[in-house]
Amino acid sequence: MAFKIAVAMFKGGASKTTVSLALAEAAAEAGLDVEAIDTDPMGGLTRWSLGAEEESRPLRMAVTGMPSAKQLSDRIASATSHRDLVVIDGPPPGALAIAKAAIEAADYVLLACPARPADQDSVPATLAAVREAGKPFNGVLTCARKTLLTDTGRIALHGMGVPLLKTELDLSDLVADNYLHRSRGPLRRFGIDLFDEISTKIG
């Protein structure tokens, strides 16, 4: 039976897809059989996977596109029967039903939390959905910088009741540059650290 992790945030551009990719790739590098489920109707993760295939360096995990809430639960049920880990990349805003279905289906939820306080407006609603579903969760800080604003963002998330992981995703062009490629450089390192930290937490 696969363990299921949903990467969630009811806000566009919170780094859900980037975090999902890094986590799934790291788990696959660690030897797990991983499936990533792309719930974005625009298929961002699916395109990423196709780009990597075209380069003859395919992603280390399978990617399935599944942009409907009903199909999502069917797909997850079938994936869990033969995978070790399923990572569900939550959709962009405007697809609330599937965003909630992804949380409902998960054993553990990772909240992709942008570091800047001005980008954290969707954290309370996402947190409420995760709490309502009764799922264990942590926050992962994304687009982090060594600035006072990032420190303020961490404090604000703490105030909202988000237990942040130690692993953070730094804001860097080297991260964005991974699009359509296997994870490498700082994104690969982030994924490995994230997978290690989550594995320790959930045992």
Ligand X SMILES: Nc1ncnc2c1ncn2[C@@H]1O[C@H](COP(=O)(O)OP(=O)(O)OP(=O)(O)O)[C@@H](O)[C@H]1O
- In the beta sheet, which residues pair with residue 139? 111, 164
Q: Are 23 and 191 in contact (CB under 8 A)?
A: yes
Nearest-approach distance from CB 90 to ligand X, in angstroms: 7
For 32, 56, 122, 140, the CA distances from 15, given in Å and listed in that order, are: 23, 25, 13, 10
Among 11, 14, 17, 190, binds Mg ion (CB under 5 A): 17
How many angstroms from the chain centroid is the CA of residue 39?
A: 11
Task: Please name the residue ranges forming H helices in the chain.
Answer: 16-29, 44-54, 69-82, 96-105, 123-133, 148-160, 173-176, 185-202
Among 27, 44, 103, 170, binds Mg ion (CB under 5 A): 44
Question: For Mg ion, which residue has the nearest CB?
Answer: 17
Q: Which stretch binds ligand X (CB under 6 A): 22-30, 67-75, 78-86, 164-172?
A: 164-172
Contact call for residue 18 and Mg ion (CB under 5 A): no
Nearest-approach distance from CB 15 to ligand X, in angstroms: 4
CA distance 181 to 85: 21
Nearest-approach distance from CB 17 to Mg ion, in angstroms: 3
Q: Are 125 and 10 in contact (CB under 8 A)?
A: yes
Among 36, 101, 175, 198, binds ligand X (CB under 6 A): 175
Q: Are 44 and 90 in contact (CB under 8 A)?
A: no
Among 14, 23, 66, 106, binds ligand X (CB under 6 A): 14
Task: Name which of 18 and 138 has its Cβ closer to ligand X.
Answer: 18
Given the rule CB under 6 A, which residues bind ligand X?
12-18, 40, 44, 92, 112, 142-143, 169-172, 175-176, 179
Residue numbers at the binding site for Mg ion (CB under 5 A): 16-17, 40, 44
